[in-house]
Amino acid sequence: MAQKFGGKYSPDGKSTPGGAGLAQAPVDDRLVDAAGARANVLFVPGLVLAFTSLGSGPTVLIAGLAGAAVLTLAAWLLREGLRAQAAYDARTIARRPALPRKMLASVLTGIGIAIAAWSNDAGVVGSVLYGVAAGALHVAAFGIDPLKDKRMEGVDQFQQDRVARVVDEAEAYLGAMREHIAALGDRKLDLRVAGFQAAARKLIRTVEEDPRDLTEARRFLGVYLMGARDASVKFADLYKRSRDEAARGDYEQLLTDLEQNFAARTGRMLEDGRADMDIEIKVLRDRLRREGIKPEQ
């Protein structure tokens, strides 16, 4: 597990027992932007096209600005599509994105490049060819959106749809928490929230792996996470204005209590799953013995 430096001379100013100088920090891989620089750099062509069109005639100016707007919209759709696919890939059960953002981005990129080529006297045929080539290269570079739901074998569709809805709602609550606390610019609070979110996502993954646990976990993934989000919003608004350390302590204690409860619920669900597996193994061994087969211990 990744660790961060701590100790007497660390920014936290706290020493660790035994002089180890290291303290574990929660790591949340979702904090890494799935879009990255390769998607953000596609905002540049729209800006370049807009600026280069300013010194031209009115027709070229309007065409250039329209092409820039289309290219900027395509870059934004691509960024959101990459993030949606990353969330889809990270889940065991997931519904396909309702809007195929990456494919729309490819189409808009082709249209934007075609407009840019036409405004630079490439002709109608040449502009179309440039647009088709740009769209094809966009698909080759970034792929297409997931086109089908991700499901588990042996679990009925209704139950999997219920899990997917609850997980989407839970992830929305966690995302809102992260955004409001990140706006404070306090790294310690960011790490504290990430620690709670890691515990919450462990419960989410447990439910995804065995949808039968949804009934027990639904209160945690719905009511409790909604309460945690609301508390985060109120705390962020208050702390931004007053920097009230008492309020900060109460908020951190709330996160600690919630994290412990989520971890305990996850542990009980895993123990129940192990107990069910032990029972199934025992039943299977008894059946094999009745058939005259002695299974190895």
pLDDT digits (tens, 9 = 90+) for 165-220: 888 888 888 888 888 888 888 888 888 888 888 888 888 887 777 666 666 677 77
pLDDT of residue 186: 84
Cα distance between residue 171 and residue 151, in whole Å: 18
State whether 132 and 162 are in the same domain: no
CATH number for the domain harbouring residue 82: 1.20.120
State whether 134 and 240 are in the same domain: no
Could you tell me if residue 263 is inside a domain? Answer: yes
The mean per-residue pLDDT over the stretch 258-266 comes to 82
Could you tell me if residue 269 is inside a domain? Answer: yes
State whether 136 and 164 are in the same domain: no
What DSSP string describes 207-260?
HHH-GGGHHHHHHIIIIIHHHHHHHHHHHHHHHHHH--HHHHHHHHHHHHHHHH
Last residue of a domain, one of 87, 107, 142: 142
Could you tell me if residue 3 is inside a domain? Answer: no
**Exposed / middle / buried, residue 274 (Cβ in 10 Å: 0-12, 13-18, 19+):** exposed
Q: What is the pLDDT of residues 102-149, one digit of tens each?
A: 999 999 999 999 999 988 877 888 999 999 999 999 999 888 888 877
State whether 219 and 119 are in the same domain: no
State whether 173 and 282 are in the same domain: yes
Residue 193 contacts residue 174 (beta carbons within 8 Å): no
Could you tell me if residue 53 is inside a domain? Answer: yes
In the DSSP assignment, the letter for residue 30 is: G
State whether 104 and 212 are in the same domain: no
Structure-block tokens of residue 75: 């870059």
CA-closest candidate to residue 254, choices 192, 205, 175: 192
- The SS3 of residue 205 is helix
State whether 161 and 281 are in the same domain: yes
Last residue of a domain, one of 116, 142, 168: 142
pLDDT of residue 33: 58
pLDDT of residue 293: 55
State whether 134 and 38 are in the same domain: yes
**Does the predicted model carry a pTM greater than 0.75?**
no
Better pLDDT: 70 or 148: 70
Could you tell me if residue 235 is inside a domain? Answer: yes
pLDDT of residue 22: 34
State whether 92 and 163 are in the same domain: no
Instruction: Give the chain's domain count.
Output: 2
Q: What is the pLDDT of residues 9-18, one digit of tens each?
A: 444 444 433 3
State whether 233 and 133 are in the same domain: no
State which residues form the domain around 43.
33-142
CA-closest candidate to residue 81, choices 67, 60, 96, 66: 96
Residue with the two structure tokens 């962020």: 236
Cα distance between residue 255 and residue 197, in whole Å: 9
Could you tell me if residue 257 is inside a domain? Answer: yes
Could you tell me if residue 25 is inside a domain? Answer: no
- The pLDDT > 70 percentage for the chain reads 71
State whether 182 and 261 are in the same domain: yes
pLDDT of residue 73: 94
Q: What is the pLDDT of residues 34-58, one digit of tens each?
A: 666 777 888 888 888 888 888 777 8
The mean per-residue pLDDT over the stretch 1-13 comes to 45
Could you tell me if residue 224 is inside a domain? Answer: yes
What DSSP string describes 136-188?
HHHHHHH-----S-B--TTS-HHHHHHHHHHHHHHHHHHHHHHHHHHTTT-HH
State whether 70 and 162 are in the same domain: no
